Amino acid sequence: MFGWLGLVLAIVGFVDVALQWYPISFNSREWEFATISTTFATLPLLTLGLTALLAAFLTLGVRWGVAVMAVLFTLMGIGVVACYGIFALDIPIALKFANGPAGLTIKKAIVRSLVMGACFGVGYLAAAVVSFRYLLGRIADG
C-alpha cells in the first residue's frame, strides 16, 4: 500500500514540476528565476512519493525497483545542482528589482530556493547512495 501511495504522489508531483517547465525559455532570466524557484517549492510532493516508492522497494527487496530509483535520484540530484547553479547566477539580477513591496517577496523566494535547493540536492544524492549501496550489498551476497 505504501508503494502505491508513493507512486500516486510521485506522478502528481512529477506533473506539477513538469508543468513549471513548459514552455522552456532559458533565454529569459526572469523565466529562469521564477521557474526554478517554483520548481524547488513544488519538489516536496514528488520527493515524498519517490521516497515512499524507494522505501517499498527496499522493504520488499525489489532489486530492479531500487536500481530504477538509484538512477532516478542520481539524475534528480544532478538536475537540482544544475538548477541551483543557474538560480545563483540569476540572484544578482533579481536583487536589482527587489525594491518596494515586491522586494520582500523576491528576497524570500531567494532564501527559500537556496535552502530548498541545497537540501533537496543533498537528499537526492543521499538517496542515490543508499540505493546503490543496497544494490552492491545484494550483489556481494550473491
* Total number of domains constituting the chain: 1
pLDDT for the residue numbered 141: 67
Asked if residue 60 has pLDDT above 90, the reply is: yes
Q: What is the pLDDT of residues 7-26, one digit of tens each?
A: 999 999 999 999 999 888 88
> Which domain, by its residues, includes 88?
2-141
pLDDT at 27 over 80: yes
64-122 pLDDT, tens digit each? 999 999 999 999 999 999 999 999 999 998 888 878 878 888 999 999 999 999 999 99
CA 113 to chain centre: 11
pLDDT at position 4 is 92
The residue type found at 139 is I
**Residue 142: which pLDDT band, with cuts at 50, 70 and 90?**
low
